Chain A
Amino acid sequence: MATLGELVADRSILVCCGPGGVGKTTVAAALAVEAARRGRRTVVVTIDPARRLADALGLDTLTDTPNRVEGDWSGELWALMLDPRSTFDSLVAKYAPDPAQAETILANRFYRNIAGALSGTQEYMAMEKLYELHGDARFDLVVVDTPPTRNALDFVEAPRRLTRFLDNRLFRLLMVPARTGIRAVNIATQAFLRTVGKVVGSDVVTDAVTFFQTFEGMEDGFRQRAAGVSRLLVDPTTAFVLVASPRRDAVRETEFFAEKLGEAGIAVQALVVNRMHPRFSPSPTGSVVAAAAGSPLAPLLRNMAELSRMADGEEAHVAALATGLAAPAVRVPELETDVHDLPGLARVAAYMFA
């Protein structure tokens, strides 16, 4: 258990996770701004930020390289917007035995679908980017935003899932003949593939077979890398920050998310609850309410009652979440406007680090 201040001061990786639509990107950026203010050389990896926030961070296009953000801090702030495609491409280039093989894979239609269509690829690439930046001597702290997902474990399991995919039984079957020098895929497999081809179209199967054959020899590199990424996620210098929202549809998702993280043995170090309705206390007492019935204060009292009901309901969920996670809850109130610039991030940070 630690405060957010302690986390930005002494961790080397902060992972912001939570369901979609709760403001993970904003929280990740605010954590990074605060770390830079505390003198750390920080890089934040964002996933699909709102356009104006991206502009504020100088991220006008998808870029695989960090962009330095100038501002009033003693440390450094760098930002990048995750591009799963180019991150995956550079992994392929890294593990391919020669440039020609890398080219063949990069041009394969099946491969080109992987970054967009294989579930978990975006999650894995976020983790992969984190791994790469962690090893970059220019940075003390990497803050990573995670893709919106219903399942908390998607990004934790993503490295293993990709390895499993590359280790697939079909893949094995396809590789055996190639290794023994027989070019053709064995007969039983061929029959199976023909049937699959009848359903999904034969081009699709041909692309897949070519991909797996070309990929031969690279699985080990990928497997080792994935293992490294997985280890980094449970390293004591890494902390998970769960971002939540008390919005009606998000509450249940967050609770489900927290439950899944718990089952996976991932300790959440902090809980940031974004956009809480403010509580205006003290609420007027019963006698005042009675005296004011029919008075000019009636609309104000009704408003107070409505807002209090909302705030109470939210607080009950937040308290239950915090207890379940055994992590302190940091509450960020609903601001008047969306956060889309550095001063806005500073305001969010002021609540997070109060």
Chain B
Amino acid sequence: MDPRRFCAQSRLVVVAGKGGVGKTTVTAAMARMAAGLGLSVLIVEVEGKTGLAAAFGAEDLEYEERELAPGIRARSLTPDVALVEYLEEHGLARISKRLVRGGLVEVVSTAAPGIKDILILGKVKQLERNGSADLILLDAPAAGHAVSFLMSPKGLGEVVRGGPLRAQADDVLEMLTDPARCRVMLVTLAEETPVNEVVETAFALEDRVGVDLGPVVVNGLYPVLAGLDVDPSASGVDLPPAEATALAAAAEFRIRRQELQQEQLARLTAALPLPQLHLPTMFSVDLDPSDIDHLAAALASGVERLPARTEVSP
């Protein structure tokens, strides 16, 4: 599929996955890919301190939008600020201060679970409607929270039967379930627990939220390296024995990881009928802009290999 078409499938892409799978990395790479195609990108972060800004060599994000790189803007959203903004826009500025100051946001959000998520998603919906960017990337909360986060409009709909917030929830649900407006891109690793979790999450999101799922991004893969099954001490190269042993042990480790990785990829393919996009490990803990460029290119070449239609349902 043409990467430009891929990016234009929906204005909002929610990037979701378990903690530690590299959601933020994928968000950054996707932003870079889209910006490279000339699209304007807005990244929305909801948990703070994700390291997203650092990957672009920038300071931590704030509520106010900021440019991270040419064509890429980013901001963070918090429920408190989103609530105040929401109330003010709905002519309720008078009670907004009192609600927030008295800790009443907690009371209200306990009374109607998911209210904080609705406020955030409501704000995202507003950004989506306003056409704030060609592509909006939402770096979703980690772990199982992604499901409850995206379930929030449905959950609230069951508790709150009327009023502006209910209307807000309905609007958000409409956006989430419209494939032309929103897709969820799940991120995982080729390891047992992350694979189990991504399969569960995918089915839960589709069955319970009715959201459209994009390809699954499998992050941190060892690039398959051929020719590792060489015995260094019998290779004809003069090596001290300790070095030969170390080389052989390192090769053995890599071979085993590559095998395990293939097993897990096969398991994922069997359990989840969604196309996959593979991203290599950068053999580095710290992301820098050149790593992001590299990953963006890997993502684009993966997208090019996707079939023209990706609306496959599990």
Chain B neighbourhood of A203, CB < 8 A: 159-161
Q: Which of B103, B112, B235 contacts A297 (CB 8 A)?
A: B235
A309 contacts across to B, CB distance below 8 A: 283-284
Task: Assess the A21–B250 pair: CB atoms within 8 A.
Answer: no
Question: Which residues of A have CB within 8 Å of B87?
Answer: 199
Residue of B nearest to A284 (CB): B243
Interface residue A180 (Cβ < 8 Å from any Cβ of B)? no
Closest to B238 in A: A291
Do A245 and B250 touch (CB < 8 A)? Answer: no
Interface footprint category on A: 35 or more
Known: A192-B98, A250-B20. A148 touches B143 (CB 8 A): yes
Kindly supply a per-residue 1/0 record for chain A positions 266-295, scoring 1 wherever the CB is within 8 Å of any chain B CB and 0 otherwise: 000000000000101111110010011001
Q: Is A247 an interface residue (CB 8 A)?
A: yes
The residue of chain A having its C-beta at the shortest distance from the C-beta of B103 within the complex is A168
> Is residue B100 contacting chain A, with contact meaning CB distance below 8 A?
no
A196 to B286, CA, bound (A): 46
In the bound complex, do residue B283 and residue A310 qualify as a contact, i.e. CB atoms below 8 Å apart?
Answer: yes
Beta-carbon contact of A21 and B237 below 8 Å? no
Is the Cβ of B142 less than 8 Å from the Cβ of A307? Answer: no
In terms of DSSP, what is the predominant structure of the interface of chain A? helix
Interface status of A89 (Cβ within 8 A of chain B)? no
Checking A249, A253, A300 against B251 with a beta-carbon cut-off of 8 angstroms, the contacting residue is A300
We find that the number of chain B residues with CB closer than 8 angstroms to chain A is 80
The number of inter-chain residue pairs (CB within 8 angstroms) is 235
Within 8 A of B (CB), among A306-337: 306-307, 309-310, 313-314, 316-317, 336-337
Which residues A12-67 have CB closer than 8 A to chain B? 19-22, 48, 50-51
CB-CB nearest in chain A for B244: A284
Q: Do A250 and B19 contact each other (CB < 8 Å), given the known contacts A50-B193, A309-B284?
A: yes
**Once the chains are docked, how many angstroms separate the CA of A307 from the CA of B228?**
14
Q: Is B270 interfacial (CB 8 A cutoff)?
A: no
A284:B286 contact, CB within 8 angstroms: no
Q: Which A residues are in CB contact (< 8 Å) with B106? A: 118-119, 165, 168
- Whether A295 contacts B260 by the Cβ 8 Å rule is no
Tell whether, in the assembled complex, residue B166 and residue A249 are in contact, meaning their CB atoms are under 8 Å apart. Answer: no
Is the CB–CB distance between B191 and A338 below 8 Å?
yes
Nearest B residue to A340 by beta-carbon distance? B192
Known A150-B49, A196-B108; contact A283-B103, beta-carbon cutoff 8 A? no
Q: Is B228 a contact partner of A300 (Cβ separation < 8 A)?
A: yes
Q: Which 4 A-B pairs have the closest CB atoms?
A: A21-B19, A21-B20, A20-B19, A117-B113
The 28 sampled A-B contact pairs (Cβ below 8 Å) are A20-B19, A20-B143, A109-B159, A110-B111, A113-B110, A117-B109, A148-B19, A165-B106, A201-B162, A204-B112, A208-B110, A249-B20, A256-B49, A280-B247, A284-B243, A292-B237, A297-B237, A299-B226, A299-B227, A299-B228, A299-B230, A299-B251, A300-B250, A300-B251, A301-B247, A303-B225, A304-B251, A313-B286
Known: A303-B225, A317-B285. 13 other contacts (CB 8 A): A20-B142, A21-B142, A21-B143, A117-B110, A118-B106, A168-B102, A170-B107, A200-B108, A200-B115, A203-B160, A249-B20, A253-B51, A310-B281
